[in-house]
């Protein structure tokens, strides 16, 4: 389905671009740039090397010259990656340009007097050009930006039934990829491919399907007696973790990508749920119960003893997702309402970030997409983990949930 692929984009730089020396090498959730205003020193820049998620100040930028859709896209992309908007004389970075037919963008560091980006963008839609400008700006800071070519998949409820949809990360250009006319759930991208696993009742049982969006081909992946759900491809795409109840209670299983070599990783009386992989492919993390209390745990992907991941200060954790950089696990906690929380991957004290559920990391290990409840339905939102800034994606007719971000 070629319509899901972005058009080629050409970026032309009129002159060499100087890198921002004070920011080179910053890493998501590791090294963040913040502006500190000391008395009598309004332009002091502080490089924060150790941060606590949810406690980082946004970086102030000024935007001028852009209009309409281009301005909307630039502001959205920056906000969900930790920037705020202010006047030129109080901004750390100045972004300027125009979007008359094609887009020209320029970014400068006002404090250090350096030019970061100076390019013209052609060969794609205006939205894609605006996304590309923000990409280049954030890369010039030494950070990993959101890759706008990576789609989101999600479940959209349409009355009693639901379908799987695919859209840009900001919700733009949503398209249905299933026509099952039944209940579907839990879409999950195959890394590096335009392909999904998901659960559907189209054959009268909750079964896992594999759907290649490039060719349109679809096949049953797991159809054992009982529950087949929550497929989670490994980082290399060669294996799939899933929840099956073929042995009684729902347990974690792993199989090869062709469905062969099925191995049961857990065998407990508790109901396991929501498996995800460590980025090195060695561990499968999931939610379970120990002594009637919901906890997060991990098990070696090749089999072995279960290990608890502590989430101090938080009760009833579920729906874990391991950050691509390996440092954090984001999850949902049910404590009266539903809360998005984050904990170090090795366990420890958890931090509550925002109300919501179904969290999933972007490849930049900074931005999370999740579902939040509003007026009796769910809407997709994006969260910048360090600053806790939240922005809704484009709205859809229906209740949207269970987002999965392609990596």
Name the 3-class secondary structure at 79. helix
Mean pLDDT over the full length of the chain: 89
Measured between alpha carbons, how far is 220 from 199 in angstroms, rounded to an integer?
A: 10
- Indicate the burial class of 190 (C-beta count within 10 angstroms; 0-12, 13-18, 19 or more): buried
- CATH classification of the domain holding 121: 3.40.50
- Mean pLDDT, to the nearest integer, of 80-107? 97
Q: In angstroms, how far is the first alpha carbon of the chain from the final one?
A: 18
User: How much is the pLDDT for 122?
Assistant: 92
Residues 51 and 135 in one domain: yes
Residue 367 placed within a domain = yes
Measured between alpha carbons, how far is 266 from 270 in angstroms, rounded to an integer?
A: 10
Q: How far is CA 375 from CA 49, 153, 366, 379, 397, in A?
A: 40, 23, 28, 10, 13
User: How much is the pLDDT for 395?
Assistant: 80
Is the per-residue pLDDT at 3 higher than 80? no
Is the per-residue pLDDT at 62 higher than 60? yes
Contacts of 45 (CB under 8 A, 6+ apart): 22, 33, 35, 36, 92, 111, 112
Tens digits of residue pLDDT in 134-144: 999 999 999 99
Residues 12 and 109 in one domain: yes
- Mean pLDDT, to the nearest integer, of 48-63? 81
Is the per-residue pLDDT at 15 higher than 70? no
Name the 3-class secondary structure at 136. helix
User: How much is the pLDDT for 213?
Assistant: 96
Tens digits of residue pLDDT in 204-263: 999 999 999 999 999 999 999 999 999 999 999 999 999 999 999 999 999 999 999 999
Residue 145 placed within a domain = no
Residue 180 placed within a domain = yes
Q: How far is CA 309 from CA 283, 348, 380, in A?
A: 12, 8, 27
**For the chain, how many structural domains are there in total?**
2
Residues 220 and 242 in one domain: yes
Contacts of 402 (CB under 8 A, 6+ apart): 154, 155, 185, 186, 187, 358, 371
8 Å CB contact between 286 and 275: yes
Residues 108 and 247 in one domain: no
- CATH classification of the domain holding 314: 2.120.10.30
8 Å CB contact between 95 and 106: yes
Measured between alpha carbons, how far is 122 from 11 in angstroms, rounded to an integer?
A: 6
User: How much is the pLDDT for 51?
Assistant: 56
Contacts of 243 (CB under 8 A, 6+ apart): 227, 228, 229, 230, 250, 251, 252, 253, 272, 273, 274, 275
Angle, helices 126-140 vs 68-79, to 10°: value is 40
Domain boundary among 85, 114, 140: 140
Measured between alpha carbons, how far is 13 from 137 in angstroms, rounded to an integer?
A: 13
Tens digits of residue pLDDT in 285-324: 999 999 889 999 999 999 999 999 999 999 999 999 999 9
User: Among 15-29, 36-50, 212-226, which range has the highest average pLDDT?
Assistant: 212-226
pTM: 0.88
- Mean pLDDT check: name the lowest of 15-24, 98-107, 227-236, 260-269: 15-24
Q: Domain span at residue 74? A: 2-140
DSSP 8-state symbol, 390: E
Name the 3-class secondary structure at 131. helix
Residues 163 and 136 in one domain: no
Task: Give the strand order in the sheet containing 337-344.
Answer: 317-322, 328-335, 337-344, 351-355
Tens digits of residue pLDDT in 145-196: 999 999 999 999 988 999 999 999 999 999 999 999 999 999 999 999 999 9
């Amino acid at each position: 389905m070629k319509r899901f692929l972005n058009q080629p984009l050409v970026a032309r730089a009129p002159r060499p671009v100087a890198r921002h020396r004070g920011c080179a090498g910053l890493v998501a959730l590791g090294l963040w740039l913040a502006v500190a205003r000391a008395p009598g020193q309004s332009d002091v820049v502080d490089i924060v090397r150790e941060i606590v998620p949810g406690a980082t100040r946004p970086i102030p930028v000024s935007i001028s010259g852009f209009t309409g859709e281009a301005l909307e896209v630039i502001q959205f992309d920056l906000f969900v990656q930790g920037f705020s908007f202010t006047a030129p004389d109080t901004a750390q970075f100045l972004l300027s340009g125009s979007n008359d037919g094609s887009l020209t963008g320029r970014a400068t560091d006002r404090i250090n007097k350096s030019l970061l980006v100076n390019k013209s963008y052609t060969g794609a839609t205006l939205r894609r050009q605006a996304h590309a400008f923000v990409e280049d700006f954030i890369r010039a800071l030494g950070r990993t930006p959101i890759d706008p070519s990576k789609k989101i998949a999600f479940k959209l409820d349409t009355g009693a039934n639901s379908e799987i949809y695919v859209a840009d990360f900001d919700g733009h250009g949503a398209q249905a990829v299933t026509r099952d006319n039944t209940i579907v759930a839990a879409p999950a991208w195959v890394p590096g491919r335009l392909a999904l696993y998901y659960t559907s009742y189209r054959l009268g049982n909750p079964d896992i399907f594999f759907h290649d969006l490039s060719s349109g081909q679809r096949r049953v992946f797991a159809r054992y007696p009982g529950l087949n759900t929550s497929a989670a491809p490994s980082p290399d795409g060669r294996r799939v973790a899933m929840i099956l109840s073929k042995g009684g209670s729902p347990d974690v299983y792993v199989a090869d990508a062709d469905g062969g070599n099925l191995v049961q990783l857990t065998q407990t009386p508790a109901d396991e749920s929501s498996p995800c992989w460590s980025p090195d492919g060695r561990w499968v993390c999931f939610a379970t119960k120990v002594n009637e209390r919901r906890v997060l745990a991990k098990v070696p992907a090749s089999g072995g003893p279960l290990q608890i991941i502590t989430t101090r200060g938080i009760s009833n954790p579920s729906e874990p997702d391991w950050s691509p950089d390996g440092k954090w696990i984001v999850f949902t906690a049910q404590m009266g309402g539903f809360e998005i929380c984050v904990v170090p991957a090795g366990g420890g004290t958890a931090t509550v970030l925002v109300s919501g559920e179904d969290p999933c990391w972007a490849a930049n290990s900074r931005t999370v997409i999740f579902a939040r409840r509003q007026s009796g339905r769910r809407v997709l939102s994006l969260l910048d983990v360090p600053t806790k800034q939240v922005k809704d994606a484009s709205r859809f007719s229906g209740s949207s949930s269970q987002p999965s971000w392609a990596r």
